[in-house]
Each structure stands twice: as structure tokens, then as C-alpha cells.
Amino acid sequence: MARRPSACAVLACVAILAVAPACAMDLQEAYEAALLQDATTRAARAGLQASDERINQAKAQRYPSVSMSAGYQRNNLDRMQPNLLGQEVTVNDRYPSRNTTLTVRQPLYRKTIAVTIEQAQAQRNDVEAGLQKETQNLAVRVTEAYTQILFARDQLAFIDAQKAATSTQLDAALKQFAGGSGTRTDIDEAQARLDMALAQELEARQQQGFAQRQLALLINAPVSLAALRSLAVDLLTTWSPPSSSIEDWLTQAESRSPELGQLRARLETARLEVDKASAGHMPTLDAVAQWSRSDSENVTSPATRYLNRTIGVQLSVPLYSGGYVSAAMREAVARRIQAEELLEAARRDLALRITIEYRNVTEGRVRVAALEQAERSAERLAQSSRKSMHGGVRTLVDVFNADQKKAQAQRDLARARYEMLVAYVRLQALAGSDEGAGIAVVNRLLR
């Protein structure tokens, strides 16, 4: 398992980011801060604590229960009885009465208690797997937000270079037109390309702002764009994902995937619900001890005090409940079948998603290499077009088209690099790897 950062260290990191957002923040630091600050993850941790208490509640049913009751009454008793002459007379008695009872009950045999304890443990396993799933998803969300910011920053750099080149060409076209050697078409073409670059710049800044806000919400602290570390292209060039086969990833996911772990725990809960429903036909046996004291509770002798002590066993045998137990069993069996089918459906869907992300990583590396070659070719085309334009062979439109191809190749290459890294983190999350394993690998590729 990956080492979880201490709470003090992460809180200190978040505090530093809040008061000094210009400090550098790599992907690992962002993820560690999000582990403590993300509301969804904290809610999952609270759910795990609640499930622990549910286990304690289930276990408490095995222990003795002690109850005490006390009562006080004011009695107004009218008695009709014959006197010495045989005449009926009414005698009114006013007196208080009191009673106190202490009962201790110890379950000796209740099948539902044992099943309830097992169910509570299975439900805790469900919640624990849910927490692991949230932390894995958090790694993907942090990586996506972080890389989207880096991609927008790269895209803005490409657009700035494109704007500078277009502005230079626009100035040259204006001068040539003023000197009588240029055309109005060249000016309009350069202006249209510059306006398009400005529109693309606005879109890229909007995307960057959204990703910046998303990351800030995850770590609950301001995010400085200048503080984020950039992707080290030279390190990425020599990096290659682990050589595990798709079968290895699927095997790992089968045993460690938090999604499948959740559904297995729910299937176990459903299976135990069948046992609990069948226990409705089973007898229960309790040991009961009782101590009671009563004063003036007998109308024939109001001034009498009783002190009673009893100890014994109590057997309860269910005979008939209108078919409730049978119906509950049929419902529990149907729920168990439902849980089995949901598990199988999730297993198939997970295999498909792992296959997709595996290919995004392995084939993404090949795609990045191809786009790197395409970028070099586009760069040479742009340079050749400018030289040819100066020699009178190419036009300004040809230069703009070559520059546009170069910018597109640069954007496609940058996007492919970040998508490959995000796919790698997502693959680690789907397969149930150690917490933050994908984050650590990607973080080493940042400068």
C-alpha cells in the first residue's frame, strides 16, 4: 500500500497553499491535500465510522439487557359491603401504591443475532470498499484537473506563438500593400487568422479557468497557475508504462477492484438476509431474572407489601404469522439473485473499461511518438513555406495554412500526452492498485 501522508503534513501543505499560492505544487501534493479536503472522500470516511458503530450495535444484542420500571399511583377505592344489620354500605379507601421491577435478560439462542453481526460486517466491507473507490476516483479527478490546466497553458503558449507570427505577417502585408506590391486579400487573410487565434485564446483561457476552479475545490485552497509544475517532455519520452499484459490487469482487478469489492459485500449481505428471514421460523431462548417490589397493589389488602424474586428461562416458538416469514424469505432470495446479476454485470463492464484504458496507455505511447514526428514535419513545412514565399513560389495563404497545421500538430501532441497519463491513472484506479500509485508515477514526470 502507498504511504498515506500524515494529517498534520497535509494540513500544513494546504495552509501554505492558502497563504502563499505562488509556491510550487506538484501533482502528489495536490492529491494529498485533496485526500483531506475533498467533501466526497470525507463523507465516505464518516460512513465507515458509522458502519463501525453499526457492528457494535449488532454485537450488543449478544449481551445482557437490564431494564428497570417504577410506578406510583393514587388509589380511590369504593367498597360496597353489608354492615351488621345486613344493609349495604359504601366504604371509601384512599391510599397510595408503588411498584418497582428490575429485569435482566440474557439471550441464549437467537439465530438472528449472529446473522445480524455478520451482516453488519459485510456492510462495513461495502463501505470500506466504497471509501477505497472514492480515493481512487479522487486520484483521477485531481489528475484530470491538473493536466487540463497544463494542457490549457501549453495551448496558450502555442496560440501566443501563432499570434506573434500572424501579427508579423499582417504588418508585412500592410507594408507591402502600402508600397503597392501587396494585395488586400493578404491583409484580410492575415486579419482573419489573427481574429481566429484570439477566439481560440479566449476558449483556452475559459477551459483553464474551469480546471483551475475544479482543482481549487478539490484541495479547498487557491491554485496559482504559475505554481503548477510542467510536464517534463524529455522524461516522458523515455518513460514507458509497465509491461503487464491485459490479462494481468484483469486478474488484479478481479481480486482488488473496489467496485467489485463493494458488490461482493452487497451479495454477502443479501445472502445473509436469506438466513435472517429463515430464522423467523426458529425458536428463541432467553435467560430471565427479575426482582420486583410492590406496595399496596392488592385491593383486598391495601397495606400489604410484596417482594418477588424470579429466575428462569423463556422459550418463544413462532407458530404462524400470516405467511410473513415465507414472503420475507422469497423477497430475500430475489434480492440475492439481483445482487449476483449486478456483480456479474459490473465484472463485464469493468473488464471493458480496463481494456479501453489499457489500450489508451499502450497505444497512446505509439500515438505520441507518431504525433511527435508529425510536429517535426509540420515545423519543417512551416519553415519551407516561409522561405518559398520569400522566393515567390508560395503565397501568404500557404504560410498561414502551414502555421495552422503546425499549431494543430502541437495541440494534438500535447493532448495525447496528457490523455495517456490520465488513462494510466484511471487504469490503476480501475484495477484497484495501491492508493496513489498512478499519481506517484505521473508526478515523477513533472518538472
SS3 annotation, the chain: CCCCCCHHHHHHHHHHHHHCCCCCECHHHHHHHHHHHCHHHHHHHHHHHHHHHHHHHHHHCCCCEEEEEEEEEEEEEEEEEECCCCCEEEEEEEEEEEEEEEEEEEEEECHHHHHHHHHHHHHHHHHHHHHHHHHHHHHHHHHHHHHHHHHHHHHHHHHHHHHHHHHHHHHHHHHHHHHCCCCHHHHHHHHHHHHHHHHHHHHHHHHHHHHHHHHHHHHCCCCCHHHECCECHHHHHHCCCCCCCHHHHHHHHHHHCHHHHHHHHHHHHHHHHHHHHHHHHCCEEEEEEEEEEEECCCCCCCCCEEEEEEEEEEEECCCCCCCHHHHHHHHHHHHHHHHHHHHHHHHHHHHHHHHHHHHHHHHHHHHHHHHHHHHHHHHHHHHHHHHHHHCCCCCHHHHHHHHHHHHHHHHHHHHHHHHHHHHHHHHHHHCCCCCCHHHHHHHCCEC
The answer, yes or no, to whether residue 182 has pLDDT greater than 80, is no
Q: What angle do CA 368, 370, 371 make, to 5 degrees?
A: 65
Q: Are residues 201 and 72 in the same domain?
A: no
How much is the pLDDT for 298? 66
Give domain status of residue 301, yes or no.
Answer: yes
The answer, yes or no, to whether residue 21 has pLDDT greater than 50, is no
The answer, yes or no, to whether residue 164 has pLDDT greater than 80, is yes
Q: How many domains does the chain have?
A: 2
Instruction: Tell me how far CA of residue 438 lies from CA of 36, 126, 249, 433, in angstroms.
Output: 18, 24, 14, 8
How much is the pLDDT for 300? 65
As a whole number of angstroms, the distance between CA 392 and CA 389 comes to 5
| φ, ψ of residue 338 in degrees (nearest 5) | -60, -45
**Domain boundary residue, one of 295, 317, 339:** 317
How much is the pLDDT for 35? 94
Q: Are residues 296 and 158 in the same domain?
A: no
| CATH number assigned to the domain comprising residue 28 | 1.20.1600.10
How much is the pLDDT for 305? 84
Give domain status of residue 432, yes or no.
Answer: yes
Q: Are residues 293 and 344 in the same domain?
A: no
88-109 and 284-295 beta bridge pairing: antiparallel
Give 382 or 265, the one with higher predicted confidence. Answer: 265
Amino acid at 416: A
Q: Are residues 115 and 232 in the same domain?
A: yes
Q: Which residue reads 489508451 in cell numbers? A: 360
Provide the pLDDT confidence category of residue 397 given band limits of 50, 70 and 90: confident
Q: Are residues 269 and 348 in the same domain?
A: yes
Q: Which three cell numbers stand for residue 133?
A: 473507490
Neighbour count for residue 55 (Cβ, 10 Å): 16
How much is the pLDDT for 165? 85
Give domain status of residue 1, yes or no.
Answer: no
352-372 pLDDT, tens digit each = 999 999 999 999 999 999 999
Provide the pLDDT confidence category of residue 350 given band limits of 50, 70 and 90: very high
Give domain status of residue 184, yes or no.
Answer: yes
Neighbour count for residue 102 (Cβ, 10 Å): 15
Q: Are residues 36 and 84 in the same domain?
A: no
| CATH number assigned to the domain comprising residue 296 | 2.20.200
As a whole number of angstroms, the distance between CA 112 and CA 342 comes to 26
The answer, yes or no, to whether residue 22 has pLDDT greater than 60, is no
99-154 pLDDT, tens digit each = 999 999 999 999 999 999 999 999 999 999 999 999 999 999 999 999 999 999 99
**Domain boundary residue, one of 294, 317, 340:** 317
Give domain status of residue 235, yes or no.
Answer: yes
As a whole number of angstroms, the distance between CA 272 and CA 421 comes to 42
As a whole number of angstroms, the distance between CA 392 and CA 378 comes to 21
Provide the pLDDT confidence category of residue 297 given band limits of 50, 70 and 90: low
Q: Are residues 45 and 98 in the same domain?
A: no
Q: Are residues 307 and 390 in the same domain?
A: no
Percent of the chain residues past pLDDT 90, beyond the cut: 67
Q: What is the mean pLDDT of residues 255-264?
A: 96
Give 324 or 16, the one with higher predicted confidence. Answer: 324
Long-range contacts formed by 201-206: CB under 8 A, 24+ apart:
201/156, 201/159, 201/160, 201/163, 204/152, 204/155, 204/156, 204/159, 205/152, 205/156
Give domain status of residue 437, yes or no.
Answer: yes
Contact present, 265 and 186 (Cβ < 8 Å): no
Average pLDDT over all residues of the chain = 89
Give domain status of residue 225, yes or no.
Answer: yes
Q: Are residues 312 and 227 in the same domain?
A: no
Kindly report whether the global pTM for this prediction surpasses the value 0.85.
Answer: no
Q: Are residues 248 and 367 in the same domain?
A: yes
**Domain of residue 307, residue span:** 65-109+283-317
As a whole number of angstroms, the distance between CA 333 and CA 270 comes to 8
The answer, yes or no, to whether residue 11 has pLDDT greater than 50, is no
How much is the pLDDT for 216? 95
Query: Which of 50-59, 76-85, 250-259, 288-297 has the weakest average pLDDT?
Result: 76-85
Q: Are residues 418 and 313 in the same domain?
A: no
Q: What is the mean pLDDT of residues 35-46?
A: 94
Give domain status of residue 2, yes or no.
Answer: no
Query: Which of 35-44, 293-302, 325-334 has the weakest average pLDDT?
Result: 293-302
Q: Are residues 47 and 131 in the same domain?
A: yes
